[in-house]
């Protein structure tokens, strides 16, 4: 017998424990929650964008880093899911850190999360304009054209997010379904056709390509990471954002149960399907050294093996997947802006905390978010290395967010109230160990000098945030940053401690 879906009144009562009244409509169900997490991860986007970089940094053998990254991110997803089940409130990392550590640290992590979401939407949408459209529509791309096209894509996503959450979810659900069907179909077709034609080259799976064998496995030094180690960036960039489902907690039915499962299921599905697809592409790649010189290696392999018509369909599918990914990123960024503004923690919060009575969305927060994204895009628009800089920052920031939150869970886990809808049980210690080891290793990769500009962006945004935090502390003091409903969770923690 399955448990009945809890009523809206029950979800509203749960939210009230954290000091908030229902302000958003609860429409998100199980598949929609999974689709949000899966769309943010978007294996079609990540693999299409970074597979060529792996060939150049690590050779085909770099793909074997993917399963390790999947296991590491799956462990992180379980930990974040355990927090999402206990604090089902819009604002995810900001809420978790604020309520379980302190509001100052919570604000810092919230700001870092915002800076990540502001730049990653540009990085993702920029791929459509700079890499895919020139090949699909047969024109010569320039930085100016890429800027204009990306700006138009951002605006279209903002219109969906700002004017209709139901329509945004319908578009996302449809595009995620097409991505799942398309990735499975392409993987099977590649393996079958390549096998029938005798074009499978198993030696590719263990080839270093043009990368010298000497020092290939080295960890690197203080300013460089070894060739194989850089291959981990394929999984580190792609398998992120799964916790975006938690940022729609106040729009999800039974979020304590639905959101954690959506998170780990999205990581598992992305990890397994993504690796099978990478294996199929690598087996059918032909000469990996020649392929590494291409700007669109995935499309080249598909066209060589399955023909130009299928390659065109691949590009269309990738465009849809990227659009869905950017759409979900924007939804997540807007909800975080709104959540911090609701607590009077965001610059200009008086405007961004409002919910449109007509559209039932944070419309003004959407306008702010898209204007900021367009500004970031304009700053990077004429840079020849814009895409790498954007992706570098978009890979670095989530690693910082995940590490901070996992450390928080590690410190607070014994005092957390037990959830009867999702908890790690006896697997808690092993899962935490895997998550910590993975995140320490991942963060160590960003010492590589190629991330210099990405670090510069992070530092600039942190300084801006620090200035505003200083203003908040000067005008309100620490007591003025207390979270709404803080007493409710403190009481639960104290009750659990008393039992022990």
Q: Where are the domains of the chain?
A: 33-499
The β-bridge partners of 252 are 28
The predicted pLDDT at position 1 comes to 35
Polymer length in residues for the chain? 500
The predicted pLDDT at position 23 comes to 87
CA–CA distance, 95 with 81 (Å, rounded to integer): 14
Q: Which of 129, 43, 57, 55 is nearest to 386 (CA)?
A: 129
CA–CA distance, 125 with 171 (Å, rounded to integer): 16
The predicted pLDDT at position 386 comes to 64
Look at domain 33-499 and name its CATH class.
mainly alpha
Is there a contact between 50 and 391 (Cβ–Cβ < 8 Å)?
Answer: yes
Q: What is the mean pLDDT of each run of 10 residues along the chain (500 residues)?
A: 53 83 89 96 89 93 96 97 92 91 89 89 87 86 87 95 93 95 94 93 93 90 88 90 94 94 97 96 94 90 92 92 94 95 92 93 95 88 68 82 92 80 90 96 88 82 87 84 65 55
Count of Cβ atoms closer than 10 Å to residue 219 Cβ: 12
Q: HEC states along the chain?
A: CCCCCCCHHHHHHHHHCCCCCCCCCCCECHHHHHHHHHHHHCHHHHHHHHHHHHHHHCCHHHHHHHHHHHHHHHHHHHHHHHHHHHCCCCCHHHHHHHHHCCHHHHHHHHHHHHHHHHHHHHHHHHHHHHHHHHHHHCCCCCHHHHHHHHHHHHHHHHHHHHHCHHHHHHHHHHHHHHHHHHHHHHHHHHHHHHHHHCCCCHHHHHCCCCCCCCCCCCCECCCCECHHHHCHHHHHHHCCCHHHHHHHHHHECCHHHHHHHHHHHHHHHHHHHHHHHHHHHHHCCCCHHHHCCCCCHHHHHHHHHHCHHHHHHHHHHHHHHHHHHHHHHHHHHHHHHHHHHHCCCCCCHHHHCCCCCCCCCCHHHHHHHHHHHHHHHHHHCCCCCHHHHHHHHHHHHHHHHHHHHHHHHHHHHHHCCCCCCCCCHHHHHHHHHHHHHHHHHHHHHCCCHHHHHHHHHHHHHHHHHHHHHHHHHHHHCHHHHCCCCHHHHHHHHHHHHHHC
The predicted pLDDT at position 149 comes to 93
414 CB-near residues (< 8 Å, 6+ apart): none
CA–CA distance, 297 with 293 (Å, rounded to integer): 8
Is there a contact between 129 and 145 (Cβ–Cβ < 8 Å)?
Answer: yes
The predicted pLDDT at position 3 comes to 46
**pTM for the model:** 0.90
């Amino acid at each position: 017998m399955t448990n009945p879906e809890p009523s809206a009144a029950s979800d509203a009562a749960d939210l009230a424990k954290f000091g908030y009244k229902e302000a958003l409509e609860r429409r998100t169900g199980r598949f929609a929650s999974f689709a949000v997490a899966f769309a943010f991860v978007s294996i079609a986007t990540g693999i299409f964008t970074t597979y060529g970089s792996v060939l150049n940094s690590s050779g085909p053998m770099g793909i074997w880093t993917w399963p390790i990254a999947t296991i590491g991110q799956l462990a992180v997803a379980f930990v974040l899911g355990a927090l999402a089940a206990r604090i089902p409130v819009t604002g995810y990392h900001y809420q978790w850190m604020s309520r379980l550590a302190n509001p100052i640290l919570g604000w810092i992590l919230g700001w870092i999360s915002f800076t990540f979401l502001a730049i990653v939407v540009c990085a993702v949408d920029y791929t459509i304009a700079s890499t895919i459209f020139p090949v699909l529509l047969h024109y010569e791309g320039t930085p100016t054209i890429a800027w204009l096209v990306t700006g138009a894509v951002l605006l279209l996503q903002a219109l969906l997010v700002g004017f209709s959450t139901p329509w945004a979810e319908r578009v996302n659900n449809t595009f995620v379904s097409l991505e799942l069907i398309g990735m499975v179909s392409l993987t099977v077709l590649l393996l079958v056709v390549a096998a029938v034609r005798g074009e499978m080259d198993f030696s590719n799976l263990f080839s270093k390509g043009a990368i010298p064998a000497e020092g290939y496995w080295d960890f690197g030094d203080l300013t460089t990471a070894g060739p194989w180690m850089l291959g981990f960036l394929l999984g580190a960039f792609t398998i992120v954002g799964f916790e975006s489902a938690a940022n729609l907690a106040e729009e999800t039915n039974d979020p304590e149960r639905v959101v954690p499962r959506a998170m780990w299921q999205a990581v598992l599905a992305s990890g397994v399907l993504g690796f099978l697809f990478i294996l199929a592409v690598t087996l059918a790649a032909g000469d990996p050294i020649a392929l590494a010189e291409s700007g669109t290696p995935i499309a080249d392999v598909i066209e060589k093996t399955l023909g130009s018509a299928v390659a065109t369909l691949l590009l269309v599918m990738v465009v849809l997947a990227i659009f869905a990914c950017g759409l979900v990123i924007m939804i997540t960024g807007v909800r975080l802006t709104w959540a911090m503004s609701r607590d009077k923690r965001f610059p200009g919060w008086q405007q961004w905390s409002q919910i449109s009575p007509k559209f039932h969305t944070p419309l003004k927060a959407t306008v702010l978010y898209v204007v900021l994204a367009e500004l970031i895009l304009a700053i990077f628009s004429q840079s020849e290395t814009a895409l790498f800089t954007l992706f570098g920052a978009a890979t670095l920031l989530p690693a910082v967010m995940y590490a901070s939150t996992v450390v928080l869970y590690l410190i607070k886990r014994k005092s957390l109230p037990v959830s009867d809808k999702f908890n790690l049980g006896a697997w808690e210690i092993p899962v935490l160990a895997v998550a910590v080891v993975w995140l320490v290793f991942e963060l160590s990769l960003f010492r590589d000098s190629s991330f210099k500009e990405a670090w510069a962006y992070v530092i600039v945004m942190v300084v801006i945030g620090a200035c505003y935090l200083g203003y908040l502390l000067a005008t309100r003091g620490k007591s003025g940053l207390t979270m709404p409903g803080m007493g409710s969770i403190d009481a639960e923690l104290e009750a659990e401690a008393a039992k022990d």
